[in-house]
Amino acid sequence: MSALGAVAIPSTLVLRSVQSCLLGLALFVGTADAVAQQQGADRDSVVVVGGDYNYPPYEFLDEEGQPAGYNTDLTRAIAEVMGFEVEIRLGNWAEMRQLLAEGEVDVLQGMAHSPERAELYDFAPPHAIVHQSVFARKGQAAINDLEELRGKEVIVQERGVMHDLMLQHDIGARLFPAEAHADALRMLASGKHDYALVANLPGLYLGRELELSNIEPVGKTFAAQRYGYSVLKGNEELLAQFSEGLAILMNTGRQQEIYERWLGPLEHQAMPWKKIGQGAAVVSALLLVVLGGIVIWNRMLTREVARRTQELQIQQQKLIQTDKMTSLGVLVSGVAHEINNPCSLVTMNLAMLKEVLRDSEEAYEAYYEQHGDFLLGHLPYTRMSKEIPRMLEDISSGAQRIRRIVDDLRDFARQGPVELSESVDLNEVVATAIRLVDNTIRKSTDRFEVRYSPSAARFRGNAQKIEQVVINLIVNACQALDSRNQSVCVAIQHDADNHLICLEVRDEGRGIEPENLSRLSDPFFTTKRDQGGMGLGLSVSLSIVQEHGGTLSHHSAPGKGTCAVLALPIKRGASTNEQ
């Protein structure tokens, strides 16, 4: 036993030592894992809240680079009442949305709700309502609807709610994304682009802080959106904590205190019209009570006054038209004189230039035969010898056309006693009217057609007055067109059986509603009020036609165009052979 025992005892001690070491190592590893898990749990218990670094007064970085604003204070208060820790990160808004999608950020503390965003995010009950406004440089036109931004250059915050909305609804504006609201307003104030579409309160706040005195909100605020906490779809548990915390703050009045501290002063400054409107409503109600009795008492008198006023207006408009045409006649006569003088000079000098060209042709040809082709007016003589005669003819034709148009205008505007004793050729009247409205026709349609009467039947009347009627009918037809592919056709027909000469003006325009056909000749009735129409054209035209013993009728259906028919009697002494 001595030898064997001597060996066995040390082996047992060694084995026990090894076991002790392994047990200690296991305990150490277990303790380390527990510590690591506890540290991981501590990290997981910190909720990372993201936001915009430059969206005051809701959220922004202060002068020391620390998160501040209404959203920030609200988030810290929620974390306090719910007993969890938060880490608030403020940065570029587009990057914050990306970090939320990648899981680096757990919740965004301020996101405007929209149906499209609701497909990607879950939203807590809103803690504010955000209105969007259009800002512009002072003096620019007001914007009352987003559709009015079509074709304009508009600055928006990149991936902001209005950026999303403008893209999704294809408003048609040219968008220029900016990183933050402050960048958008600086770009606008520096003269870049037309408008900036930003949140109302942040825009007012930044405009004041940055002293951007040359920009202002134009038009009404619109696109009110619910604004609050949002998480990715599927993270309802975290969102529920923020919703519960927000409910606690609202019920205790703490949320309202935070709101008033940050947004109250700006709202009072930005909406001075609210109190004014309330006061105006009270005053209006009192006035309505006082004036109600007076309105009832004066109802019958008002109707009579309205009837007499309408009669006076009709007479007044006729006097205005007469005075206008008199002034136009004086003006056109003076202008015609000033235009005809240079036209006469052009015509006279053209005749001399043609003689000079004929006299110099022989010398040019001789020089050409001796020296070959040469430059004349920077072009080869062989080409100019053919072009110069054409140029002179074109100049002559243009001068004659100017003279003819001026004479037509002068005749149209000439005022004098209205006598129906002229022998009038309707073909000539229509040709003159077409020349006067040629520009309107060219702008309205590519398919204008005119057919004259081969018999050239004359009638007794006043050419100037009938010309006014024809011009009115052609202009009305052009204004009824919706595209240049639609046609206008003017046709003159001689109805020998009924002793009538008829003018038909047919268009392929939008047509006239049945209930409006019978009212076309009523004074002041017009379907073109928004285009400046007064509703007197057809009324005056009908009066002129009736003076001539004729008729003026319209046939139309919505979407199928309109046909206006002027019929004038051919009286004795106004035959086709009368000169």
Q: Which CATH number characterizes residue 456's domain?
A: 3.30.565.10
Residues 281 and 360 in one domain: yes
pLDDT tens per residue, range 452-480: 988 766 888 888 888 888 998 998 899 88
Mean pLDDT for the stretch of residues 14-40: 44
Contacts of 112 (CB under 8 A, 6+ apart): 130, 160, 161, 225, 226, 227
Mean pLDDT for the stretch of residues 255-261: 91
Contacts of 282 (CB under 8 A, 6+ apart): none
Residues 194 and 242 in one domain: yes
Q: Look at residue 524 in the predicted model and tell me its pLDDT.
A: 53
Residue 321: pLDDT band (50, 70, 90) is: low
Residues 337 and 447 in one domain: no
Q: Look at residue 13 in the predicted model and tell me its pLDDT.
A: 37
Residue 193: pLDDT band (50, 70, 90) is: very high
pLDDT tens per residue, range 105-130: 999 999 999 888 899 999 999 999 88
Residues 156 and 179 in one domain: yes
Q: Look at residue 384 in the predicted model and tell me its pLDDT.
A: 83
Flag whether 324 is in a domain: yes
Flag whether 71 is in a domain: yes
Question: HSE on the CB side for 349, CA within 13 Å?
Answer: 8
Question: Which of 28-32, 223-227, 352-356, 390-394 has the least mean pLDDT?
Answer: 28-32
Residues 469 and 552 in one domain: yes
Residue that terminates a domain, selected from 246, 266, 286: 266
| Pairwise pLDDT comparison (273 vs 430), residue with the higher score | 430
| Longest alpha-carbon distance in the chain | 169
Flag whether 525 is in a domain: yes
Residues 388 and 468 in one domain: no
Give 175's strand partners.
154
| Pairwise pLDDT comparison (230 vs 435), residue with the higher score | 230
Flag whether 440 is in a domain: yes
Closest CA to 376 of 360, 397, 354: 360
The neighbour count for residue 342, using CB atoms within 10 Å, is 11
pLDDT tens per residue, range 360-406: 888 888 888 888 888 877 888 888 888 888 888 878 877 777 776 67
Return the DSSP state at 528: -
Residues 241 and 293 in one domain: no
Flag whether 38 is in a domain: no
Residue that terminates a domain, selected from 394, 414, 434: 414
Residues 344 and 301 in one domain: yes
CA distances from 308 to 302, 311, 312, 313, 545 (A): 10, 5, 6, 9, 26
Range of 304's domain? 277-414
Residue 523: pLDDT band (50, 70, 90) is: low
Residue that terminates a domain, selected from 266, 286, 309: 266
Which of 323-327, 375-379, 447-451 has the largest mean confidence?
447-451
Flag whether 383 is in a domain: yes
Residue 69: pLDDT band (50, 70, 90) is: very high
Residues 371 and 449 in one domain: no
- Contact at 8 Å (CB) between 476 and 539? no
Residues 474 and 528 in one domain: yes
> What are the backbone dihedrals phi and psi of residue 78, each rounded to the nearest 5 degrees, phi first?
-65, -45
> Can you say how many angstroms the Cα of residue 231 is from the centroid of all Cα atoms in its chain?
37
Burial 493-502 (b: 16+ CB within 10 A, else e): bbeeeeebbb
Domain count, the chain: 3
Residue 331: pLDDT band (50, 70, 90) is: low
Residues 290 and 407 in one domain: yes
Enter the pTM of the model.
0.40
The neighbour count for residue 381, using CB atoms within 10 Å, is 19
| Pairwise pLDDT comparison (33 vs 330), residue with the higher score | 330
Q: Return the H-helix or E-strand segment holding 451.
A: strand 447-451
Strand pairing report for 500-507 and 375-376: unpaired
In the numeric block, the tokens 């004041």 are attached to 208
CA distances from 2 to 9, 11, 13, 498 (A): 11, 15, 17, 159
Q: Look at residue 60 in the predicted model and tell me its pLDDT.
A: 93
What is the distance between the terminal CA atoms of the chain, rounded to a whole angstrom?
A: 166
| Pairwise pLDDT comparison (22 vs 144), residue with the higher score | 144
Residues 288 and 255 in one domain: no
Flag whether 527 is in a domain: yes
Compute the mean pLDDT over every residue in the chain, rounded to the nearest whole number: 79
Flag whether 396 is in a domain: yes
Here the CATH number for the domain that contains residue 62 is 3.40.190.10
Residues above pLDDT 70, as percent of the chain:
77
